[in-house]
Amino acid sequence: MDDKIVLTGIKPTGTPHIGNYIGALKPLIKMSQSHKTFMFIADLHALNAVHNAKEIKQHTYEIAALMIAMGLNLENTVLFRQSDIDEIYKLSSFLMNVTPKGLMNRAHSYKACVEKNMEMGADVDTGVNMGLYTYPILMAADILLYNSDIVPVGKDQKQHVEFARDIAGYFNNLYGKTFKLPEPVISEDAGLIPGLDGRKMSKSYDNTIPLFAPSNELKKKIMRIITDSKTPEESKDPDTSTIFQLYKHFANESEIAALRKRFLDGGMGYGTAKTILFEKIDSVLSTPRAEYERLMANTSEIDAILADGAQKARFVASKTIAKVKKKMLG
């Protein structure tokens, strides 16, 4: 077991889909097998955009249940809900005072909002709440609270981890070495998983396949995948086919090679390819899906796991807060 502490957060802003799973959740589950891991559902980070408690709670359960059902190593992992950790509010608040406003002005997500407003001729701060503006400080607090060494994130979050390093550095300069400097690890690029319409699978395009869609819904979605208009006889390009791109992530090597050959050889219609894809995903996911459904029907079991995680996380967090408070306030 590597002795580095791994930490990451996942925002509960949608029902996890195949793209989220392959791109983000699967690599984390793998990492949890060999590292001491802190993994939390970042419900506070969802708040700047989602103002609906029921929705956040539902997606929190979905993500936790998915991680557990897909084999997250709960021996090595502290799994918890961000908002259950009172120390997070404290550390954010302390860190505000060593974080230059200019750093926040440079954050990609804030800048994107400002630029969009400028393009539309609106006031630059339209739609920007302080949760969005201070998002990187809350994220730095997440990372620094648990002495994290490694923070696996998608490319879009790299800047935030760098900001956490910067903020740790400002603090250490002012108060003496207190925080470790965390390293972002950009998850191996699984490539973008395409959605039903061939664009990146994303909830914003409404083209997703939920990882644990019930069998009949999974089938319906897969049958809706957009293809080109090649006849069954014609040879087809597996590398540009959404069907094949999805299949690759669920089948084994010989199955992948066999389907690739059928695409190239011709003689197989897209309808048949979709059925093959459906049957593969449906069978690979049937056991974890049953576990997911069981957990979603017994959310008190998820609550108990999250409560246990929160207790362990707070044990570490409270020590950090005591240290920071002493340094800042005596």
Q: Per DSSP, which regions of 73-214 are E strands?
A: 77-81, 150-153, 183-186
Given a contact cutoff of 8 angstroms between Cβ atoms, the answer to whether 82 and 42 are in contact is: yes
Closest residue to ligand TRP using C-beta atoms: 9
Query: Residue 12 binds which one of ligand ADP, ligand TRP, none, with CB within 5 to 8 A depending on kind?
Result: none
Q: Select the span of 85-93, 135-143, 216-224, 231-239 touching ligand TRP (CB under 6 A).
A: 135-143
153 near ligand TRP, rule: CB under 6 A:
yes
CA 135 to each of CA 38, 60, 173: distance values in angstroms, whole numbers, following the listed order: 19, 19, 23
Q: Which structure tokens are listed for 190?
A: 């699984």
Given a contact cutoff of 8 angstroms between Cβ atoms, the answer to whether 280 and 47 are in contact is: no
Query: Residue 23 binds which one of ligand TRP, ligand ADP, none, with CB within 5 to 8 A depending on kind?
Result: ligand ADP
Q: Which structure tokens are listed for 202?
A: 């994303």
CA 241 to each of CA 246, 250, 254, 263, 282: distance values in angstroms, whole numbers, following the listed order: 9, 15, 18, 9, 19
Q: Can you tell me which of 11, 17, 236, 274 binds ligand TRP, judged by CB under 6 A? A: 11
42 near ligand TRP, rule: CB under 6 A:
yes
Q: Can you tell me which of 107, 143, 276, 321 binds ligand TRP, judged by CB under 6 A? A: 143
Footprint of ligand ADP on residues 17-76 (CB under 6 A)?
Answer: 19-20, 22-24
Q: Select the span of 30-38, 186-194, 235-243, 291-299 touching ligand ADP (CB under 6 A).
A: 186-194
Q: Can you tell me which of 1, 3, 120, 204 binds ligand ADP, judged by CB under 6 A? A: 204
Q: Which of 245, 255, 261, 241 is nearest to 284 (CA)?
A: 255
Residue 164 backbone zone (phi > 0: left; psi -120 to 50: alpha; other: beta): alpha
Query: Residue 45 binds which one of ligand TRP, ligand ADP, none, with CB within 5 to 8 A depending on kind?
Result: ligand TRP
In angstroms, the CA 211 to CA 218 distance is 9
| Minimal distance, residue 42 CB to ligand TRP, in Å | 4
157 near ligand TRP, rule: CB under 6 A:
yes
198 near ligand ADP, rule: CB under 6 A:
no
Q: What residue ranges bind ligand TRP (CB under 6 A)?
A: 7-9, 11, 42, 45, 139, 142-143, 151, 153, 157, 160
